[in-house]
Amino acid sequence: MDEPTSGLDARATAIVMRTVRNIVDTGKTVVCTIHQPIIDIFEAFDELFLMKRGEEIYVGPLGHNSCHLIKYFEVSPNPNLIMRNKLLIKELSVPPPSSKDLYFSTQYSQPILTQCMACLWKQHLSYWRDPAYTAVQIFFTIVVALMFGSIFWKQGSQTFRKQVQCNGFHLYNSSIIGTQNASTVQPVVVV
């Protein structure tokens, strides 16, 4: 497979790689080219053929937590570079004495009003991207309002009659709103 995870988000990539892993677990051999994988995907492979500028750098098993690959590079022909890198990592991992821990005054970067306005603007744009859908929603709302209003048009004052009408209204209301949600609202919800 040539880059099966290109253009995918993290969740879709995990699903694809889990499927590839399931195929491998059945005994079949799978060859994938992956550029700059995240560690979870990298660890999913059994063997690695690492290349740089068309030349092989490492060919062999990865091992648990890439232990074989790490051992290979630790004994590479330039130990001076490895020692300098380890020393640099050690130096950079210690914060300077004058530095302070990160502190944020609030949990969220924006106030609640700004967040609400952003969500409302997003919904505004999503509705007006599809004017036909919005027109159907407005028409449907008017029709349902007229139907519900006609239920109580010129009603008397008898209590029993009002109870029956209210029960019918609630049953009718739940069936209409449920049907509307199932048929028109759910396919258009913007995520």
Confidence check: pLDDT of 187 > 60: no
Measured in whole angstroms, the distance separating CA 169 from the mean position of its chain's CA atoms is: 40
Cβ contacts of 41-45, under 8 Å, gap ≥ 24: 41/5, 41/13, 41/14, 41/17, 42/66, 44/17, 44/20
Answer with the residue of higher pLDDT: 86 or 185. 86
pLDDT in tens, 49-98: 888 888 788 888 888 888 888 888 777 666 677 678 888 888 888 888 88
Nearest to 71 by CA among 81, 80, 61: 61
Question: What pTM was estimated for this model as a whole?
Answer: 0.36
Confidence check: pLDDT of 118 > 90: yes
C-alpha 115/C-alpha 132 separation (Å) is 28
Count the Cβ atoms, other than its own, within 10 Å of residue 93.
Answer: 7
